[in-house]
Structure 1
């Protein structure tokens, strides 16, 4: 299982704590360093819809131009923008085999992992 996100994010810290407390093994991949490759994002977008992973409530979203906002919602142009602005991707993004989930709540984690 791979948990994607940004290490310093409060939501990520909650997710890490929950996973660790329940002794669930995972590998962490930081959106910023080393970032997300085109191949990784292509695989992710095969598992989960683009509209579900773009965080429209983020500061990064508000800083985008209108044309960038339109482009990030189009599969052909989204990958390049998500790589340039990794904080647009909701956190955590979890890939477990052929399943994907976005966000953290105790209820969703209990349903997915227990």
Structure 2
């Protein structure tokens, strides 16, 4: 079963859920704020998604970070930031089991099959 990583009050995450529901695709929801992010889960995601693409630089969490945390980013620093602040993970993030898709725009899930 697919897993959709979200933050419940995110409009784009709601649209992604609506798209999956409309297609009748089964999935479970993992709320990053409530459920957090384990090191094993983060490594599972980063094995399929480039590290620098996984961080959401448009999020409120990012904007509220101290400037020194935003400077000189490398893979290790991004991992540490994501572990400390799971809401920095770009979302919605859909793990189908075969692939991981980051973000959502209308039509992004049209090719998915249940």
Question: How high is the TM-score relative to the length of structure 2?
Answer: 0.87
Report the Cα offset of residue 38 of structure 1.
0.4
Partners of 2:81 and 2:89 in 1: CA distance: 10
What is the alpha-carbon root mean square deviation over aligned residues?
1.6
Q: Aligned pair 1:49/2:50, yes or no?
A: yes
Report the Cα offset of residue 29 of structure 1.
0.8
**What secondary structure, in the 3-state scheme, does the structure 2 residue paired with 1:109 have?**
coil
Q: Gapped runs of 5+ residues in structure 1? A: none
**What secondary structure, in the 3-state scheme, does the structure 2 residue paired with 1:110 have?**
coil
Higher-helix-fraction structure: 1
1:63-102 map, 5 Å: 63-70=64-71, 73-102=73-102
Report the Cα offset of residue 66 of structure 1.
2.6
**What secondary structure, in the 3-state scheme, does the structure 1 residue paired with 2:91 have?**
coil
Q: Aligned pair 1:22/2:23, yes or no?
A: yes
- Cα distance change of structure 1 residues 74 and 98 upon mapping to structure 2, 3 Å threshold: farther
4+ residue stretches of structure 1 with deviation over 4 A?
none
Aligned residues of 2:4 and 2:95 also touching (Cα < 8 A): yes
Counterpart residue number, 1:62? 63
**What secondary structure, in the 3-state scheme, does the structure 1 residue paired with 2:41 have?**
helix
Query: Could you list the per-position Cα deviations for residues 40-72 of structure 1 after superposition, in whole angstroms to 9, with x for gaps in the alignment?
Result: 00110000011212111122112112321136x
Q: Gapped runs of 5+ residues in structure 2? A: none
**What secondary structure, in the 3-state scheme, does the structure 2 residue paired with 1:28 have?**
strand
Aligned residues of 2:48 and 2:100 also touching (Cα < 8 A): yes
